[in-house]
Structure 1
Amino acid sequence: MCFYNQKKFACGDWAWGNFAARCNHEYRMGETCGMKLVHNTENIQAQCKLCEKIEIKCRRRNAELERIARWRREGGVMKASMEKSGIQVRELEQEIRQLEYERQMKQKNIGK
C-alpha cells in the first residue's frame, strides 16, 4: 500500500499524481507494492482532458448547426455545403456520445 498524490479536477474527476511514500510491505529499493493509497489531494480548477475534449466537440457541433441555420435563412442555396455540415454534425455527435460513455465507464469503475 504505497502512497501517491492525487489530482482532483473541477469536474469531479481525478488522476494519480507523483509517488509520495513507500509502505512497509515493500523492502526493495525503488519498488512499490502495487497497492495505491492517496497521500495528498491537489485540487485543480481546470477540467480533466476528457471533459475538455467533450467541450471542444460540443462547440464545433454548435458552430456547424449555426452555420446550417444561417444557410437555411439565406435561402438554402448551398445544398452540398449543408449536407457536408450535416454529416459533420452527426459525426461529432457520435464522438461526443463515445467520450461521454468513456467518462461514465471511468466513473463507474472508480466505485469498485
Structure 2
Amino acid sequence: MCFYEQHRFACGDYKWGNFRQHCNKEYRMGETCGMKLVFHTTHLPQKCKICDKVDCKQRKRAAEVDRVHRWQREGDKFHASIDKSMEQIANLDMEIRNLNYEKARRRQQV
C-alpha cells in the first residue's frame, strides 16, 4: 500500500505516476510493497493513448468508407479496390473493438 501519483485523463482513463511515499508495511529502503494507493490525482485535459488510437482508426475507417462509396457511384470499374477497402474496414472495426475492450478492462481493474 505505497502511495503514487495518479494522472486522470479527460476520457476517464488513468495512468500511474511517480512513487511518492512508503507505507507502514514496507521497512526496506528502496522497496515497495506492491499495492498502489493514490497520493494525489492530477487531471489532464487530453485523452489517453487508447482513445487517440481509437480516434485515428475511426478517421481511417471513415476515409475508407467514403472511398468505397465514391467507387460504387463511379460504376463497375473498381471491384478489386472495393473488395480490398472492405477488408481494411473489417480489420479496422476489429482493431477498434479490441481497443475499446482493452479500455473497458482497464476501467474494471480500478
Is 2:89 the counterpart of 1:93? no
Unaligned runs of 5+ residues in structure 2 are none
Equivalences for residues 41-56 of structure 1 within 5 A: 41-56=41-56
How many Å separate the matches in 2 of 1:95 and 1:79? 24
Is 2:95 the counterpart of 1:102? no
Unaligned runs of 5+ residues in structure 1 are none
Give the partner amino acid of 2:90: R
Q: Report how many aligned residue pairs link the two structures.
A: 110
Instruction: Look up the SS of the partner of 2:26 in the other structure.
Output: coil
Is 2:19 the counterpart of 1:16? no
How many Å separate the matches in 2 of 1:25 and 1:97? 41
Per-residue CA deviation, residues 38-71 of structure 1 (Å, 9 max, x unaligned), is 0111111111111111111111111000000111
How many Å separate the matches in 2 of 1:60 and 1:49? 17
Q: TM-score, normalised by structure 1?
A: 0.92
Instruction: Look up the SS of the partner of 2:108 in the other structure.
Output: helix
Is 2:51 the counterpart of 1:61? no
Q: TM-score, normalised by structure 2?
A: 0.93
Instruction: Look up the SS of the partner of 2:32 in the other structure.
Output: coil
Taking only the aligned residue pairs, the percentage that are identical comes to 52
Match of 1:3 in 2: 3
Kindly state the Cα deviation for residue 28 of structure 1 after the two structures are TM-superposed: 1.0
Kindly state the Cα deviation for residue 36 of structure 1 after the two structures are TM-superposed: 1.1
Instruction: Look up the SS of the partner of 2:34 in the other structure.
Output: coil
How many Å separate the matches in 2 of 1:89 and 1:76? 20
* Cα-Cα RMSD: 1.1
